[in-house]
Amino acid sequence: MKNASLRLSALSLSLALLTSCATTTVTPTASPAHQAALAQLEGGQPREAALALETQAGSLRGAARSQALADAAWGWHLAGDGARAQSLLGQLNSRHLSGASSQRYQLLQAIQAVAANQPAQALTLLGSTAAVHAPLQASWLLTTAAAHQAQGDLFAAAAALSRALPVLDGAQRTQAQADLQRLLARVDDTSLRERSAALAVGDPFYNQAGRALIARGLTLPRPLQLDPASLPDFSKRAAAERDGYRPPGRIAVLLPLSGQLATAAGPVRDGLLAGYYAEHRQRPELQFIDTAGTAAGALAAYDRAVAAGADYVIGPLGRDEVDALFARSPLPVPVQALNHGRTLPPQGHLAFSLAPEDDGVMAAEFLLARERSKALVIHSNDDNGRRAAAAFNTQFSQRGGQVLASVAVSDTPADISSQLQLPAEAVFLAVRGPQARALAPQLALAGLAGATRVGSSQLTLGTGKPEEDQVLDGIAFPDERWSSQRVDGLPAANELAGRLPTARGAAARLFAFGHDAWKISAYLPRLATSTDQGLPAATGLLYLDGSGQVLRRPVWSTFSGGHAQPIVDGR
- 174 C-beta neighbours (distance < 10 Å), count: 11
For residues 416 and 526, state if they share a domain.
yes
Give ∠ CA 49-47-75 in degrees, rounded to 5: 65
Least confident of 188-192, 428-432, 543-547: 543-547
Backbone region of residue 465 per phi and psi (left: phi > 0; alpha: psi in -120 to 50; beta: other values)? beta
- Tens of pLDDT, residue by residue over 107-116, are 999 999 999 9
Per the structure, how many domains does the chain have?
3
Q: What is the CATH number of the domain that holds 298?
A: 3.40.50.2300
For residue 198, pLDDT beyond 90: yes
The per-residue pLDDT for 568 is 74
Residue 377 lies in a domain: yes
Print the domain residue range for 475: 356-498+514-566
For residue 16, pLDDT beyond 50: no
For residues 372 and 279, state if they share a domain.
no
The per-residue pLDDT for 309 is 96
Give percent of the chain above pLDDT 70. 93
Least confident of 40-44, 118-122, 123-127: 40-44
* Cβ–Cβ under 8 Å, residues 152 and 187: no
In 3-state terms, what secondary structure has residue 374?
strand
Instruction: List, edge to edge, every strand of the sheet that includes 285-290.
Output: 285-290, 250-255, 312-314, 335-337, 350-351
Q: How confident is the model at residue 502 (pLDDT cuts 50, 70, 90)?
A: very high
For residues 370 and 262, state if they share a domain.
no
For residues 156 and 285, state if they share a domain.
no
Span 258-264, mean pLDDT?
92
The per-residue pLDDT for 38 is 84
For residues 299 and 373, state if they share a domain.
no
Q: Is the pTM of this model over 0.85?
A: no
For residues 336 and 362, state if they share a domain.
no
Residue 223 lies in a domain: no
Q: How confident is the model at residue 18 (pLDDT cuts 50, 70, 90)?
A: very low
Q: How many residues does the chain have?
A: 571
For residues 380 and 405, state if they share a domain.
yes
For residues 361 and 474, state if they share a domain.
yes
> 342, 369, 400: which is the final residue of a domain?
342
Give ∠ CA 287-292-294 in degrees, rounded to 5: 120
For residues 436 and 408, state if they share a domain.
yes
Span 386-394, mean pLDDT?
96
For residues 14 and 160, state if they share a domain.
yes
- 466 C-beta neighbours (distance < 10 Å), count: 14
For residue 8, pLDDT beyond 80: no
Q: Across the chain, what does the average pLDDT equal?
A: 89
For residues 455 and 559, state if they share a domain.
yes
Residue 309 lies in a domain: yes
20 exposure class (CB count in 10 Å sphere: 0-12, 13-18, 19+): middle
For residues 171 and 52, state if they share a domain.
yes
Q: What is the CATH number of the domain that holds 172?
A: 1.25.40
d(CA 328, CA 347): 12
Residue 507 lies in a domain: no
For residue 394, pLDDT beyond 60: yes
Q: How confident is the model at residue 533 (pLDDT cuts 50, 70, 90)?
A: low
d(CA 371, CA 539): 26
In sequence order, the β-bridge partners of residue 559 are 473, 564
